[in-house]
Structure 1
Amino acid sequence: MSDSRAAERAEVLKKHEFTITEELRRGISGRVFLVKNPDEDYFVVKEINYRDNVNFKLDAVKNEINILKNLQHGYIVCYEDSFEESGYFYIVSDYCAGGDLHKKMKTQENTPFEEEQIIDWFVQICLALQYLHKNSVLHRDIKPQNVFLTEEGYINLGDFGCSRVLQRADKYATSVVGTELYVSPEIRENRHNSKSDIWSLGWLLHDLCMLNVWSNSIKRLCLYAKSLEGTKPTISNIYSEDLKELIRQMLSRDPHERPSADEILDKPFLEDAVERNRRIPEVLQRRLLPSIDNFNKAYSEHYTDFETAVNEWKTATDSLEEIHRKCTVGRLSGSVIGAAGGITALVGVGLSLFTFGASLIVAGVGISVGVGRGVTSAASDIINNVKQNALRQSFEKLQQDYKNASEPILQSLRALRKLLRKLTRFSDFQLQGFGRIAVQSAGVGPAVTAASILLSGLLIISDIAYIVKDSIEIHQMRQGRVDDPEKVQSPVLKAIAQMRKTHTELCHVLTVIQETRNALANGGRN
């Protein structure tokens, strides 16, 4: 891979507010990267090169991705976004920190899984398939590599939908020991339906029970070949007769003899597992109350200080603008008086402003100081330098106060939001107020962090050379005609305008935090 392609990819993802953390894997159809957004949420991005692939049907993939983005289920990988640029298509989905089932099975080696564990995973996949099939979506590619484990240990079914389109390009891309070993007989006759997913899941269930066979590619291939002719595989006697019979039913060569996802979930021996896994996973439930308590504690201890820091932010901004206004007016007068005597550049300090969320970098600009007859300007400098030092100290204190107050709230809110995003994907989690918390609080982290960066890079400016221009812009700002930092020419006034914009953002953050507190106090019903 060329450095230019890597830079191009990074720039595209940056445009969509993603930063690459590492490359996870690569294949014929594309490469997969772990990325994070400004809220420090991790996602998986699949990059597909369709520019060099004549079989790739972009419109078809887009249509299927749009369908998938509307699917919300606790046991299905959530598709977050998709976009294209310069011949590459990007699909963004949730990151499952537990890896995939294929890796889990390899780690287990020849030690059999407990039946309860197998059934829990199996039921979770069935619940996901039941939801997909009711929404007329077929997975088409069920295999261990496409079954992911969350950091909490439950299943997320992923990598589906667009596989029908990609299959044309990747038909012979994988080895025989892979996707082909999970393909139903009717797929080879282009008659794919929901029962084809059941066949694939039957083989996955077989492999979970028979790790010693699954790990031996020759044995596994022979069993698969025989199953296409109607011979069903044997399952170890350490597992129940009910489980073995279910596998035999799912691997019936005739699709009509295979049970549907609904029928599987109605099996009496799965009743307890279905009831258990229809609910929110216990591990998430156990984390909810402590997460709420942590946020409430941070709120009680730091919200007032955070609110005070935001108010002081405005006061400091007003003070900076007033000092600069007086300094500019004084220098303008001094420049007129000292015009015959000349102007000398004495010292340069300034701010170079980039987009919101980036730091303010110290840059050198000339500060004109009147000499000779320019006594008015020099006197203005002396007076305002004293004020500047005091204001600098107030900014240093504000920076520390802001950090101490905002970080505990931000950290607890970020953890709570991540948990609520997972909880709200389960159908029986009916408290919609919690869902709104997860959505509304999504932008809090970047705003708080950006403000902290701005403070850390901020140095107070005493003056700037372009006096007349500053004076005009100060007048416009005081008249309320300039509130966009991009419309201001002076570096000093850019900084002031940026600080005002940031203050508005922080006021919104305070509102979101307050609304979150109220919603939690009402059990998520608001």
Structure 2
Amino acid sequence: MSAIKETLSAYHAENQDGGFKLNQYDVKEVIGQGAFGVVHLAVDTTTGTQYAIKEFSKTRLRRRDRESQMRNNRGRVAGVSNLWGSDDDALNDEDPLRLVRKEIAIYKKLVHPNVVMLREVLDDPEHDALFMVFEMCMGGVLMDVSLSQPCEPFPVDKARRYFGELLLGIEYLHANGIVHRDIKPENLLLTEDGRMKIADFGVSEIFLRGDDTMKRSAGSPAFMAPEQISVDCHTYSGRAADIWSMGVTLFCMCYGKLPFVGDSILSVYKAIREDVLDLPQEEDPRLQDLLTSILEKDPEQRIEMAELREHEWVTDSGRVPLLPYEQNCHRVEVTDEEVKHAVKSIHNVVATIRALAHWRR
């Protein structure tokens, strides 16, 4: 397992190109934007290695987790994680990062060839910024597909390879009590050598004691499972919903389009709940069986991970077997000390950066 590097000091400096430095990271241009903040390209000046630094809003992260805690207070489902002690403690604790600290500690320990690795977290306690340093995936997103934008499908061997890597990564997360909840091609990144890695844990949930019961929906509408958007379903299995999203992603890889579409989000939801899966008649019967089994609208009848990893299409009838479960799914344990030190403080770095930017103007 690769060690997470911890630095002993924090400092800042202005760069000639208008960027800034956080510890040993030379932070450069913005390369992306998400719901919680922007993503910068950064270089570790001690090694020359490139990283993606996500700048998050602590207020938004804290609000997300406080809302989750309050929902659980109104009717907790047994087994859904309460990672920070009692609910009252979580809501009243003066530490603004208490609600994300253990989640960060767990993600720092997730080391898998098909999961984007979090290297470290840097915090300015005086301001709203929280910086997460991730490995850089230079190959970009797996594919760019949407309701209005189909794309070129992958050859069957490439689709099989990427789906196998997705399966191993999600299996590893599930074994460690994490449901991703937003699996889609946009959140699957490629390394320079073509390996696929799962990214973006912004709406993920942690579950305990094997009970993955979820009470609220999250994710991208076209990739959500029928049970997540059913007015009659108040709880659902997070793992089963992840498997559905894997099926939608596989359909995109094989056909370059989404399986269920509509002119609005409501019409997409209606198609997900009611439309019959349309597959080409000439398709490989193994792929037909796989997609039908994954995109089964009844989560109780949907294929599960243990059967999925042995499916004939996934393994090409045994010619390309996956890594055994025991080798793929080492368990992650997090100590109290690791939780305590999950976030590194950067005193007043952000204030200084803003002052420098104002001075330059």
Output aligned runs, 1:168-207, within 5 Å: 179-188=220-229, 189-207=234-252
Offset of 1:262 from its aligned partner? Answer: 1.9
Alpha-carbon deviation of 1:15? 3.6
What is the TM-score when the length of structure 1 is the normalising length? 0.44
Structure 2 equivalent of residue 79 of structure 1: 118
1:360-405 CA-to-partner distances (Å, cap 9, x unmatched) read xxxxxxxxxxxxxxxxxxxxxxxxxxxxxxxxxxxxxxxxxxxxxx
1:245 aligned partner, one-letter code = D
Query: Given that residues 123 and 277 in structure 1 are in contact (C-alpha distance below 8 angstroms), is that contact kept between their aligned partners in structure 2?
Result: no
* Aligned partners of 2:261 and 2:268 also within 8 Å: no
Q: CA deviation at 1:98?
A: 0.5
Q: Could you say which residue in structure 1 is the equivalent of 2:29? A: 22
Q: Which residue of 2 aligns with 1:431?
A: none
With over 3 angstroms needed to count, the CA separation of the structure-2 counterparts of 1:46 and 1:275, relative to structure 1, is farther
| 2:32 partner SS | strand
* Residue matched to 1:447: none
Structure with more helix by fraction: 1
Instruction: Confirm or deny: 8 A CA contact 1:129 1:261 kept in the other structure.
Output: no
Equivalences, count:
264
For 1:267, the aligned partner's letter is H
Q: 1:179 to 1:104 in 2, by over 3 A?
A: closer
Q: Look up the equivalent residue of 2:106 and give its one-letter code.
A: I
Report whether the alignment pairs 1:43 with 2:51. yes
For the structure 1 residues 222 and 142, does the alpha-carbon distance in structure 2 shift closer, same or farther, using more than 3 Å as the test? same
Letter in 2 for 1:254: D
**2:202, 2:151 → 1: CA distance?**
33
- Report if aligned partners of 1:214, 1:220 keep a CA contact under 8 Å in 2: no
> What amino acid sits opposite 2:300 in the alignment?
H
Give the structure with higher Rg (CA).
1
Whether 1:228 aligns to 2:273 is yes
State the secondary structure of the residue aligned to 2:21: helix
Instruction: Answer whether contact 1:24 1:32 (CA < 8 A) is retained.
Output: yes
Distance apart, 1:18 and its partner CA = 0.8
Q: Counterparts in 2 of 1:109-508, with a 5 A limit?
A: 110-160=151-201, 163-164=204-205, 179-188=220-229, 189-212=234-257, 218=263, 222=267, 225-229=270-274, 231-237=275-281, 239-272=283-316, 276=320, 278=322
Corresponding residue for residue 94 of structure 1: 135
- Structure 1: runs of 5 or more not aligned: 1-5, 166-170, 173-177, 280-426, 429-526
Which letter maps to 1:82?
Answer: V
Measured after TM superposition, the shift of residue 130 of structure 1 is 1.1
Specify which of 54, 63, 78 is matched with residue 55 of structure 1: 63
CA contact (8 A) 1:61 1:162 kept: no
User: Secondary structure, in 3 states, of the residue corresponding to 2:28?
Assistant: strand
Q: Report which structure shows greater RCO (CA 8 Å, sep ≥6).
A: 2
Shift of 1:46: 1.0
Shift of the 195–7 alpha-carbon distance from structure 1 to 2, 3 Å rule, reads farther
3-state DSSP of counterpart to 1:255: coil
Amino acid at match of 1:34: L
* Counterpart check, 1:103 vs 2:103: no
CA 1:83/1:28 → structure 2, altered by over 3 Å: closer, same or farther? same
- Which amino acid in structure 2 is aligned with residue 47 of structure 1? E
The CA distance in 2 between the partners of 1:242 and 1:211, in whole Å, is 19
Q: Verify the 8 A CA contact 2:27 2:40 in the aligned structure 1.
A: yes
Report what 2:108 is aligned to.
69
SS in 1 for 2:132: strand
Instruction: Note the C-alpha offset of 1:238.
Output: 5.4
Structure-1 separation of matches of 2:292 and 2:195: 25
C-alpha separation in 2, matches of 1:213 and 1:147? 16
Residue type of the alignment partner of 1:76? V
* Alpha-carbon displacement from aligned partner over 1:60-83 (angstroms, at most 9, x marks no partner): 322112111111111111111112
